[in-house]
Amino acid sequence: MPARTLAVDFGTSNTAAAFLDGGTVRRLMIEDGAETLPTAVFFPADQGGMEIGHQATRALIGGEDGRYMRALKSVLGTALFREPRMIGGKRRTLAQIVTAFLVTLKARAEAQAGVPFDHVLSGRPVHFHSADPVREAQAEVDLRECYSAAGFERIGFLYEPEAAAYATHGLGPAGGVGLIVDIGGGTSDFTVFEAASPRPHILASHGIRLGGTDFDHAISLSHVMPHLGFGSQLRRSLGDGLLPVPNAIFTELATWSKIPFVYTPDTRRSVVDMRRHAVEPERLARLETVVTDQLGHELAFATEAGKIAANRGEAGARIDMGCVEPRLSVEIDTASLDSAMAGFGPRLRAAMVETLHMAEVSPERVGAVIFVGGASAMALVGAEAAALFPRATQHRSDAFTAIIDGLALATGHPEGSRPSAT
C-alpha cells in the first residue's frame, strides 16, 4: 500500500516528510503546522528530553542552558559519527542522535497520517563525500542503519536531484532536456533529464560536497572571525618575534557541525593563554567570550542572515555580533560576499559540465535549468548557470519542497528509481 511508504528528505539544514495518498502527494505537518523543520537538536543541560527542529532553535535563541547541534548529515561516513561524546549529561554518539531524530519524525508522521509507515524512501546526495570513496560508502551505511534502528523495515534511497526531477520536469519543454541544480546545505547535486510523461527520463546525475554551510564557513572566516583574532599575531613567551594565532579554532567555529565540540576545557585554556600573548588582546578577548559563553551558533545564525541580506542586495546589510560585544557588527555587501565566495563558482561550473559529459549532452541542448535547495538562491549559482546555458530558461521551484514531493511521487513508481541510487 503506497501510504505505508514514507518519503523523507533528511537534509543538512531542513527535513520534510510526505506520502502518496491516492496518487496525490500529501506533505505532513511535522512541527507547529509546518511542512519542513530544521534538522537540528537541543539537549537541555538538566538532562531533559531532546528537542528537535524549531523547538531546538528556540531553546538556543532563548538562552536555555544546553547543547545545540545542526548539520548532522554532514558527518555521515566519518569517524566522528560513531564516537561517543558527553552530550546532554550522558555519553552519546551522533548515530544515536540521528536515530532519535528519525524516531520522532516517524512517530509524528504516523500520528498525522493515521497509518503506520514500515517502509521509507529517503533522499540522498549523489555523493556524500565526493573525494573520499571510503567515507562515501560508509555514509549510506550509516544512514541506512539509523533508519533501521528508527523502526523502518525496508529502506530505499533516491538521489535528491532525481527526486526533484520527478516533481518539476513539467517546467521544462515537452520532450526537451532539462537540468536540475540542487544546492543544499552540504552538497551540490545535478541531474540531466529528458522531460516525459508521467515521469522524466534520467540521463545522468553528479554531485560534489559543497553547499550552503560551506558558503557560511567562507563568509564567517572572511567577515566575522577576524574580529575574534583570526589572522592576528601572538608574542613569543621566550625570545623576540611574533607567531600567527592558530587557525584551527576559527575554522571549527565557522563550521556548523563542529561548533558544539569547541567548548572544551582545553580550548578555553588555550584561548586564555593566546589572549595573554596577543598583539591585539581585545580581539582574543571576544574569542574568549564566544567560547566561554558558547556563542558559536548565535554567530553562525547571524552570518547566515547577513549572507541572505547581502545576496538580496539589501542596502546596509550587516552581520550582527552584538551577542559578543554591544553594538559590534560587520558590514557585508554584494562585493564582499562575491569576494568571499569567489572560489566556489569554478567548482559549480565544473560539476555542471561533468554532469553534461556523463549525459552526453551539449550545453546548447539544455532548454531549462531548474533550481531547488535553499542555497540555490545565491546569485553566484544563477550566474554560473546563465554563463554555461545562455539559451536556457531558468526556473526557481519551491526550494524546500521539490525534493520531498518528488520522493513521494517516486514511491508510486519504484521501477523509476535508478539502481545506483537504491
In a domain, 353, yes or no: no
In a domain, 142, yes or no: yes
In a domain, 54, yes or no: yes
pLDDT for the residue 238: 73
pLDDT for the residue 415: 52
In a domain, 316, yes or no: no
Residue 125 pLDDT exceeds 60: yes
Residue 422 pLDDT exceeds 70: no
In a domain, 24, yes or no: yes
Provide DSSP, 180-211.
EEEE-SS-EEEEEEE--SSS-EEEEEEEES--
Residue 3 pLDDT exceeds 60: no
The CATH number of whichever domain residue 80 belongs to comes to 3.30.420.40
Q: How many CB atoms lie within 10 A of CB 174?
A: 11
In a domain, 295, yes or no: no
In a domain, 148, yes or no: yes
Q: What is the pLDDT of residues 231-271, one digit of tens each?
A: 999 998 877 889 999 999 999 999 999 999 999 999 999 99
Q: Where are any strands of DSSP class E within 223-359? A: 233-235, 242-244, 318-320, 329-331
- Helices 402-410 and 160-168: crossing angle in degrees, nearest 10, is 90
Mean pLDDT in the chain? 92
pTM (2 d.p.): 0.91
Tell me the pLDDT band of 420, cut-offs 50, 70 and 90.
very low
Q: How many domains does the chain have?
A: 1
**Number of helical (H) and strand (E) elements in the chain, helices listed first:** 13, 20
Range of the structural domain that residue 81 is part of: 2-161+403-421
Tell me the pLDDT band of 61, cut-offs 50, 70 and 90.
confident
In a domain, 26, yes or no: yes
Which cell goes with 325? 560585544
pLDDT for the residue 417: 45
